[in-house]
Homo-oligomer: A and B are copies of this chain.
C-alpha cells in the first residue's frame, strides 16, 4: 500500500480531532481511486490543502492514563543532555534480513494518513523513503498513539522505533519497498509549521504538468526560492546538489593528478578585476574597493610567482542586470591557469582531459542522481566525443553561412546563433560539447594574446555545451609592454591595473587558462532550463535573500 507516489496527485484525508479526542474522517475527501475531477471536488481539494497548510492542531503529548504513554509524544528540546544510547539507522540500510528486528530511524514525516484505528506514514531521509504503519492493538499501539501520529504535521522530524516487517507485496512508491516499519514508539523532534507549498507539487515531472488533464497545483519559481529550504528537499534538488558536489571533486581530481595546486585568491580588490563590466563597489575601510569578477589577474600572478599550474574554485561576482536563464550576480567559478611551452593547444589538451574525465565521472558516480533528475526533467543525455571537437571560429562562421545565417564574422555570436551552431555541429559531428577557437581579437579581453599571423584574431577559445557557451579561455599576454599596449587600446586606466602589469616585469612564463561557471556546467550537463535550479541560494539582480 502506498501513500506516496510523485506521479499521482496527493489525496490526503484530513483527520479532525474532536474535542473529546475521537477521530472523524473528512467526508469531503475523494474516495479511493476516484478520477472524477468536478469543480466541487477541486474546490474541496483546495480547501483541504489549505487546511493542511494551516497550523495543524497540535497533539504533542500522550493522552493521560494511556498505558503506552511512554511510547509517544514530543521529545524535550535536544540539547546534548545525553549521548545517543541507541544507533540510528539510515533508510537505505534497511533490508529483509532485519525482519522482526527493531530499527530506530530519524526522518521527516513525508506523508501521514490516519484512518480510524490505523495510521500510515511515509518517513523520508533525503531522497529515501520508507513506510511506517500503526494499527491499534492495545499491546504495542494505543488509540492515543495513532492519534498522535496522525496529527503530526508533514515535514516534522520524528524519531521512530519500529519492528522491521517484510510485507506480502512490495511497498509501492517508497524507495525502500521490501520492508516497512511497524511503529513501536514515535516521538517528534521538531514540529513543522504549515507549509507554503506541497512538496508533492514541487516534485511533479514536466511531462505530467504538460498533460492535458493535468489538475496539479504548480509551484512557481519565486515561491520555491523564497522557501528554498523546503524546495531543496525534493529528490531532484537533492540530486542536483550531489551532482554539483561531484563536479567539484572531479574537477579537482583531474587537475591534481596533472600537478596542479589549489589556490585562494582575494575577492576584495582595488581596481575592477578585468576592467569594464559591472562590478560591485564597496568601501574597504576607508579606501575604494570592489569584488573580483573573476580570479583572472590573481591566478596569472600565481603563475608569475612560480606556481606553474594552479586552479581555484570560488565565488565570482557580476553586478549585471541580466535576467536571463543563464546569468547570476554571484556564481562559483572553476578556474585553472597553466604555463605553456609554445602553444595554447596545450591548454586545450588539458581542457579535453579535464572535461571528458568529469563527464565520464558523473555518468559513473552519479547515475542514480542523473536518472532522478531526468525523471522530473526529461532530457537526452549529453553526447560528447572521447577527443573533443575543435573548430576554428572561421569554420564555425562558415557552417552558419552554409545554413543560411548571416553572422558577424568579426564580431561575437549572439545567443541565438550559438544555439543554431550547436544544432549544426550536433547534426554533423554528433556532439553536444565542442571548442571554438581563434576568436576575433576585438571581442576578447585586453589580456588575450593576439594571433601571431593575423592580428585581427586571438589565441582564444570558447567551449559550448548543448549550444550554450560555458567556458572561456585563451593564451594570455605575458609581455608587460604588449599588455600595456593592449590595455590602452581597450581604454583601461593603467593606474587601475598597475600591480597586475608589474607582476609580469620580473620574468613571466608564457601561459594560458580558462574559467567556467559551476552552475552552468551542472545546468547544461543535466539539461536543465534555468541556472537558478543549480545554485543553492541564487543571486540575481532582484534576489538577495534568503
- Residue on B with the closest CB to A88? B341
Interface pair B283/A78, CB less than 8 Å apart: no
Residues of B within 8 A of A507 (CB): 108-109, 153, 155-157, 190-192
Knowing A229-B304, A306-B126, say if A539 contacts B79 (CB, 8 Å): no
Residues of B within 8 A of A245 (CB): 261-263
Q: Is A518 an interface residue (CB 8 A)?
A: yes
Q: How large is the interface on A (under 10, 10 to 19, 20 to 34, 35 or more residues)?
A: 35 or more
Q: Within A251-279, which residues are at the interface with B (CB < 8 Å)?
A: 252, 256, 261-270
Segment at the interface with B among A139-147, A353-361, A392-400, A475-483:
A475-483
Q: Within A233-251, which residues are at the interface with B (CB < 8 Å)?
A: 233, 237-238, 241-242, 244-245, 248-249
Interface pair B270/A81, CB less than 8 Å apart: no
Segment at the interface with B among A20-28, A30-38, A314-322, A418-426:
A314-322
Q: Is A489 an interface residue (CB 8 A)?
A: no
Q: Is A513 an interface residue (CB 8 A)?
A: no
Residues of B within 8 A of A302 (CB): 232, 536
Knowing A88-B341, A261-B241, A332-B264, say if A499 contacts B78 (CB, 8 Å): no
Interface pair B79/A270, CB less than 8 Å apart: no
Question: How many copies of this chain?
Answer: 2
In Å, the complex CA distance between A233 and B503 comes to 12
Knowing A229-B304, A282-B282, say if A509 contacts B189 (CB, 8 Å): yes
- Residue on B with the closest CB to A512? B80
Q: Is A301 an interface residue (CB 8 A)?
A: yes
Q: Is A230 an interface residue (CB 8 A)?
A: yes
In Å, the complex CA distance between A269 and B544 comes to 6
Knowing A306-B233, A546-B301, say if A106 contacts B341 (CB, 8 Å): yes
In Å, the complex CA distance between A157 and B505 comes to 11
Residues of B within 8 A of A500 (CB): 546
The digit string for A281-293, where 1 denotes a CB below 8 A from any CB of B, is 1111101010100
Residues of B within 8 A of A284 (CB): 280, 319, 329, 544
In Å, the complex CA distance between A545 and B265 comes to 12
Interface pair B77/A482, CB less than 8 Å apart: yes
Q: Is A170 an interface residue (CB 8 A)?
A: no
Please name 13 pairs of A and B residues whose Cβ atoms are closer than 8 Å in the assembled complex, sorted by A.
A79-B449, A80-B342, A82-B342, A83-B345, A190-B507, A193-B506, A230-B506, A232-B306, A245-B262, A249-B262, A265-B536, A266-B315, A266-B536
Given contacts A77-B479, A241-B307, 7 further A-B contacts (CB under 8 A): A78-B478, A80-B340, A84-B342, A190-B479, A238-B306, A238-B307, A264-B536
* Residues of chain A at the chain B interface (Cβ within 8 Å): 77-84, 88, 106, 108-109, 124-126, 153, 155-157, 189-193, 195, 227-233, 237-238, 241-242, 244-245, 248-249, 252, 256, 261-270, 280-285, 287, 289, 291, 298, 301-302, 304-308, 313-315, 317, 319, 321, 329-330, 332, 340-346, 449-452, 459, 475, 478-479, 482, 499-500, 502-510, 518, 536-537, 539, 541-542, 544-546
